[in-house]
Structure 1
Amino acid sequence: MVAVSGYITNETGEVLLVRNLHRSDTMELPGGMVEEGESLEEAVIREIFEETGITVKVFGVTGVYQNMTSGGICVMFRGEYASGQLQTAEGETTEAAFAQITEENLEDYITRPHLRVRLLDARNSRCVPYEAFRVRPYDLIRRLEE
């Protein structure tokens, strides 16, 4: 099980957050499951659009997180708002908003510790290169380097 998530900022430095129907006790960075045949980059862009109605540009990966309880892996991207109007996704998100996140108010928005860590890492880390490719013969599809 591989998921992706995005630390997305707007022109004023606010961070995109969503409240999911099945985790209504917390806000979180938008994202979801990678579909078969989809690159990680394609998945995060699609999931953010589905959950929030906006289009984003991503720059690179800021972290990889493995849930040892469920076996799930989440790859975190950093990016920025490109276009569109915020909206929620019926049956999935109940809220989508840009918020000014500080050390002082972070826990007011994100109540789950493992989700707070992802946001802090994404905000404070450099991106590492991300590459999507095919082999036999080698075909570079896309490389992100901030």
Structure 2
Amino acid sequence: MAIIPSYPKHIVSVFAYLTNSKDEVLLVKTHWRSDTWELPGGQVEEGESLSEAVSRELLEETGIVIRPVGITGVYYNVTKSLLSVGFYAEYVGGKLRIQPKEIKEGSFIRLDESNIDQYITRPHMKSRTLDAMRQKCFVPYEAWDTNPYSLLTRLDC
């Protein structure tokens, strides 16, 4: 009898830290987590790079076009087997218009360490946001196509 190997199954999600010209941070409230504000993002789709996913999710949820600049952190939820990757992003275009099916509310908010608890009530969302706020240099990120080898995206300091 052949043994069939078991492979880990993880959900991968992305989120973005985006500020406007007034240094306000884009935050959203979702319908299923309406007790807290959070950085916008969502799940990576099959065949999609992380940078493509974060750009798509921001556009879908907020109507804003971004350019991912670098990774601010990598987080793992053991309970849900959920790997989350945070991106620092630059504004490219668009106006804030929330996607009402998923997003209850969205706004650019003047956020700092002294008032973060007023907005972000879940500790794991707070730590991700603080990591992004404090980031001075980004973790390198690459996306590759390997048949043939072709670098699709590279982000670093």
| TM bracket, shorter-chain basis | over 0.9
For the residue of structure 1 that corresponds to 2:125, the secondary structure is helix
Separation of aligned partners in 2, 1:79 and 1:90: 23
**Greater per-residue strand proportion:** 1
**Mapping 1:110-121, distance limit 5 Å:** 110-121=120-131
Q: Is the counterpart of residue 57 in structure 1 residue 62 in structure 2?
A: no
Report the TM-score, using the length of structure 1 for normalisation: 0.96
Q: CA deviation at 1:137?
A: 2.7
Q: Is the counterpart of residue 105 in structure 1 residue 121 in structure 2?
A: no
For the residue of structure 2 that corresponds to 1:116, the secondary structure is helix
Partner of 1:137: 148
For the residue of structure 2 that corresponds to 1:26, the secondary structure is coil
Separation of aligned partners in 2, 1:53 and 1:136: 34
Partner of 1:30: 40
Report the TM-score, using the length of structure 2 for normalisation: 0.90
Percent identity over paired residues: 51
Q: Which runs of 5+ in 2 are unaligned?
A: 1-10
Question: Runs (4+) of structure 1 moved beyond 6 Å?
Answer: none
RMSD across aligned positions (CA): 0.9
Q: Which runs of 5+ in 1 are unaligned?
A: none
Q: CA deviation at 1:138?
A: 1.4
Q: CA deviation at 1:87?
A: 1.1
Partner of 1:75: 85
Separation of aligned partners in 2, 1:103 and 1:122: 12
Supply the AA of the counterpart residue of 2:67: K
Q: Kindly name which structure, 1 or 2, has the bigger radius of gyration based on alpha carbons.
A: 2
Separation of aligned partners in 1, 2:96 and 2:148: 41
Per-residue CA deviations over 1:22-50 (Å, capped at 9, x if unaligned) read 10000000000000111000000110111
Q: CA deviation at 1:134?
A: 1.7
Supply the AA of the counterpart residue of 1:128: V
Separation of aligned partners in 1, 2:67 and 2:147: 29
